[in-house]
């Protein structure tokens, strides 16, 4: 993600950037943080920012497209089935360790 958004708060930039990740592509927490003008350490707050935005009414945050820097996706018991269906629908393939196959080629 090379795009940088200016003129908004860090949190607003993160939400805008996260919502701009197209279908079939992924980005990382660190990519979002850096594109919003933060450091890689700011990546630790991305989930909190997006969660707060969602609770505040922002719809359509593509959580499944935001992954770890090593290509792993986050799957817990609550979201596993839904996210796996979304990955299949968008043509995002996962390996047996829940890492995105061809991560570098679909990274946004």
CA distance 77 to 63: 15
Per-residue model confidence (pLDDT) at position 77:
87
Q: What residues does each domain of the chain span?
A: 10-106
Contact between 108 and 25 under an 8 Å Cβ cutoff? The reply is yes
Q: What is the pLDDT of residue 41?
A: 87
Look up the CATH number of domain 10-106.
Answer: 1.10.10.10
Question: Tens of pLDDT along the chain (108 residues)?
Answer: 555 555 689 999 999 999 999 999 999 999 999 999 998 789 999 999 999 999 999 999 999 999 999 999 989 888 899 999 999 999 999 999 999 999 999 999
Q: What is the predicted pLDDT for the residue at 108?
A: 94
Q: So what's the pLDDT on residue 5?
A: 54
Quote the CA–CA distance of 75 and 53 in Å, as a whole number: 21
The predicted pLDDT at position 45 comes to 94
Spatial separation of the C-alpha atoms in residues 58 and 61, rounded to whole Å? 7
Q: What is the pLDDT of residue 4?
A: 54
* CA–CA distances in Å: residue 29 to residues 89, 94: 22, 18
């Amino acid at each position: 993600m090379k795009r940088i958004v200016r003129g908004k708060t860090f949190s607003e930039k993160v939400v805008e950037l996260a919502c701009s990740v197209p279908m079939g592509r992924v980005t990382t927490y660190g990519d979002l943080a850096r594109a919003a003008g933060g450091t890689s350490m700011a990546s630790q707050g991305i989930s909190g920012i997006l969660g707060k935005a969602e609770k505040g009414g922002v719809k359509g945050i593509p959580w499944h497209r935001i992954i770890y820097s090593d290509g792993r996706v986050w799957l817990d018991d609550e979201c596993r089935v839904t996210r796996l269906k979304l990955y299949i629908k968008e043509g995002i393939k996962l390996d047996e360790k829940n890492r995105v196959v061809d991560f570098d080629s679909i990274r946004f």
